[in-house]
């Protein structure tokens, strides 16, 4: 091969390679722009249909990753690289990563299911994963809860979705559970009437359903009265403490004796 032929071959190859590199760069820029437009249009359509913002972001990320992988495979195919083996390697790497990050992927999948099923939303007062508190954020991998003592706590979505979920904000009212232990000398029917009047006067107690004041039990000390007013979830603790105060105030005003256990002492003659 003479120098002229070598120079012609190199110049042709370099020019062809340069065109391919420039075309690949153009494909990458245009492809990225188009994938961004597709994701933006999809997210805009979901926002118009009032889809949860977290779910919108979640699906947008998945679509963007899928489009980028397809773009890379297309560019490699343009250069003549066999993408079949590359796709198999990518799938193998995905399996390996999935096995290593099974916990994270489980949280990811549980978060996706919760975004679709919506057992609770941000601002709801719930019991999830052994915690009680207000939902601050529903993320892709974990749910952030603010406990009643104002501690920000992150719970993995797998734990949240895999255990019982109690949503105290799902219903308009919630029942407060209190009891009043009376002395044996107190008339329980009179006590029920007095407590009904006292509980009904507590602010934010719901009228429907009406407060439940009933004879719950009898023990050695005396009657036990169940005092159960209903209220909105946002007023739960205020009504809880006010109910305790109403029981004490009613007992004091009625002059009821303090409940004390009865003791029976038997003596035997020597």
**CATH number assigned to the domain comprising residue 10:** 1.10.287.1260
pLDDT single digits (tens) 137-194: 887 778 899 998 999 999 988 888 888 899 998 899 999 999 999 999 999 999 999 9
> Tell me, what's the pLDDT at 100?
47
Residue 268 lies in a domain: no
In sequence order, the β-bridge partners of residue 138 are: 143
Indicate which CATH number applies to the domain containing 199: 3.30.70.100
Q: Which helix (H) or strand (E) holds 261?
A: none
Torsion angle, alpha carbons of 89, 95, 99, 105, to 10: 120
Are 218 and 159 found together in one domain?
Answer: no
Block residue for tokens 């915690």: 131
Are 199 and 126 found together in one domain?
Answer: no
Query: Whole-angstrom Cα distance, residue 54 to residue 161?
Result: 17
For 269, counting Cβ atoms within 10 Å of its Cβ (0-12 exposed, 13-18 middle, 19+ buried), the class is exposed
Are 40 and 66 found together in one domain?
Answer: yes
pLDDT single digits (tens) 80-136: 666 565 666 666 656 555 544 556 677 777 877 787 788 888 889 999 988 899 998
Are 17 and 61 found together in one domain?
Answer: yes
Query: Whole-angstrom Cα distance, residue 163 to residue 147?
Result: 18
Question: Which of 43, 71, 100 is the last residue before a domain boundary?
Answer: 100
Query: Whole-angstrom Cα distance, residue 141 to residue 85?
Result: 32
- Which structure tokens are listed for 155? 């719970």
Are 127 and 157 found together in one domain?
Answer: yes
User: Under a CB-based contact definition with an 8 Å cutoff, are residues 87 and 94 in contact?
Assistant: no
Are 66 and 148 found together in one domain?
Answer: no
Residue 245 lies in a domain: yes
CA atoms within 13 A on the CB side of 239: 25
Question: Which of 112, 139, 167 is the last residue before a domain boundary?
Answer: 167
Angle at CA 234, nearest 5°, toward 232 and 240? 75
Domain that holds residue 138: 120-167
Are 159 and 196 found together in one domain?
Answer: no
Residue 112 lies in a domain: no
Residue 110 lies in a domain: no
Residue 261 lies in a domain: no
Are 245 and 182 found together in one domain?
Answer: yes
Distances (CA, A) of 229 to 179, 237, 245, 259: 11, 12, 13, 23
Q: In this predicted model, which residue has the larger pLDDT, 172 or 9?
A: 172
Block residue for tokens 């110049």: 11
Are 7 and 50 found together in one domain?
Answer: yes
Indicate which CATH number applies to the domain containing 136: 2.30.30.60
% residues pLDDT > 90 (the chain): 36
pLDDT single digits (tens) 217-247: 999 899 999 999 999 988 999 999 999 999 9
Residue 269 lies in a domain: no
Other CB atoms within 10 Å distance of the CB of residue 92: 10
Query: Whole-angstrom Cα distance, residue 27 to residue 21?
Result: 10
Block residue for tokens 């709801």: 124
Residue 1 has pLDDT above 60, yes or no: no
Are 178 and 157 found together in one domain?
Answer: no
Average pLDDT over residues 238-263: 91
CA 149 to chain centre: 18
Residue 105 lies in a domain: no
Residue 234 lies in a domain: yes
Read off the pTM: 0.60
Are 162 and 182 found together in one domain?
Answer: no
CA 196 to chain centre: 37
> Tell me, what's the pLDDT at 267?
64
Are 82 and 135 found together in one domain?
Answer: no
Structural domain count of the chain: 3
SS3 state of residue 138: strand
């Amino acid at each position: 091969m003479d120098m002229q032929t070598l120079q012609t071959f190199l110049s042709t190859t370099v020019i062809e390679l340069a065109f391919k590199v420039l075309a690949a760069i153009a494909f990458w820029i245009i492809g990225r722009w188009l994938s961004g437009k597709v994701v933006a249009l999809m997210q805009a359509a979901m926002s118009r249909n009032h889809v949860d913002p977290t779910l919108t972001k979640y699906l947008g990320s998945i679509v963007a990753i899928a489009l980028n992988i397809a773009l890379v495979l297309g560019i490699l195919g343009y250069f003549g690289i066999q993408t079949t083996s590359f796709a198999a390697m990518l799938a193998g790497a995905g399996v390996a990563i999935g096995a290593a990050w099974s916990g994270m992927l489980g949280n990811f999948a549980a978060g996706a299911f919760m975004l679709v099923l919506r057992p609770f939303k941000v601002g709801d007062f719930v019991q999830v994963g052994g915690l009680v508190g207000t939902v601050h954020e529903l993320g892709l991998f974990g749910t952030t809860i603010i406990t009643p003592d104002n501690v920000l706590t992150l719970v993995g979505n797998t734990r949240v979705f895999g255990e019982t979920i109690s949503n105290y904000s799902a219903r308009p009212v919630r029942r407060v559970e209190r009891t009043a232990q009376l002395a044996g000398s107190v008339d329980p029917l009179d006590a029920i009437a007095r407590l009904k009047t006292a509980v009904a006067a507590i602010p934010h107690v719901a009228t429907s359903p009406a407060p439940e004041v009933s004879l719950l039990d009898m023990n050695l000390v005396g009657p036990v009265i169940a005092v159960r007013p209903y209220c909105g979830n946002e007023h739960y603790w205020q009504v809880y403490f006010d109910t305790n105060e109403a029981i004490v105030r009613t007992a004091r005003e009625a002059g009821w004796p303090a409940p004390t256990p009865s003791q029976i002492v038997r003596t035997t003659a020597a």
